Chain A
Amino acid sequence: QSVLTQPPSVSAAPGQKVTISCSGSSSNIGNNDYISWYQQLPGTAPKLLIYDSYKRASGIPDRFSGSKSGTSATLGISGLQTGDEADYFCGTWDSSLRAGVFGGGTKVTVL
């Protein structure tokens, strides 16, 4: 059971937009602005997409966006491409656990 909660899957047609939610609590997402999002393509290591809730990592296109409100964060992917099919994870620090925490991951499918 992951500390952060994500939907198991989302899907949309090419060119459309998907959003992935990441729900936490006052000891993690609600306690800091350092939410990160990772993309994991099949058979590869995770790759940083978004850090500090909304900043894009180096080389990440502006089709990817991040936001945070209260104890939840959201990743948006617009202009969906077949190459975006992957698992996406949110992560942050939990001040009560004194540990990093992740969401369970969301599989994005391009229909």
Chain B
Amino acid sequence: EVQLVQSGAEVKKPGESLRISCKGSGYSFSSFWISWVRQKPGKGLEWIGRIDTSDSFTSYGPSFQGHVTISVDKSIRTAYLQLNNLKASDTAMYYCARPGYCNDDSCRDLDNWGQGTLVTVSS
């Protein structure tokens, strides 16, 4: 069974940094990319970016470029999303998800999702 297990909820102050983890199991980890998706309270889904777990190639959505960093440690089958200089507007649920297929040009459906990590930024 494919599983993506994310790290637990976080409460941070404005200006702090945070790294969320996503550990994959039940499949060949380096054969699939990982994407990250944000969902603000009561709102829709926003695509943050993606990483090729085999060679760490990354790409980001225009709204997130320069504000987040996606990385991977394939030796422990774990992808990461780093958020720097946190603001109250970063308060959201963050999901990792596995695209069914990706290449350098595009990705398709997200066929497996992590349980989500709730990030609260408050002074």
Contacts and interface: CB of A to CB of B under 8 A. Distances in A.
B115 A102 contact: no
A111 interface: no
Interface in B43-86: 43-47, 49-50, 59-62
A47 B110 CA distance: 8
Contacts of A97: 61-62
A101 B109 contact: no
Interface string A30-68: 001010101000000111100110000100000000000
Interface in A53-111: 57, 89, 91, 93, 95, 97-105
A108 to B, nearest CB: 15
A98 B116 CA distance: 24
Given A46-B95, A100-B35, A36 B45 contact: no
Contacts of A32: 106
A103 B44 contact: yes
Contacts of B111: 48, 51, 57
A2 B44 contact: yes
Contacts of A105: 44-45
- Chain A interface size, as a band, is 20 to 34
A102 B62 CA distance: 14
B107 interface: yes
A97 B49 CA distance: 12
Nearest to A45: B113
Given A38-B110, A52-B108, A100 B44 contact: no
A95 B103 CA distance: 13
A51 B108 contact: yes
Contacts of B50: 100
A91 B109 contact: yes
A102 B109 contact: no
Interface of B: 35, 37, 43-47, 49-50, 59-62, 95, 97, 100, 105-116
9 contacts: A34-B106, A36-B110, A46-B37, A47-B113, A48-B110, A93-B108, A99-B49, A100-B35, A100-B50
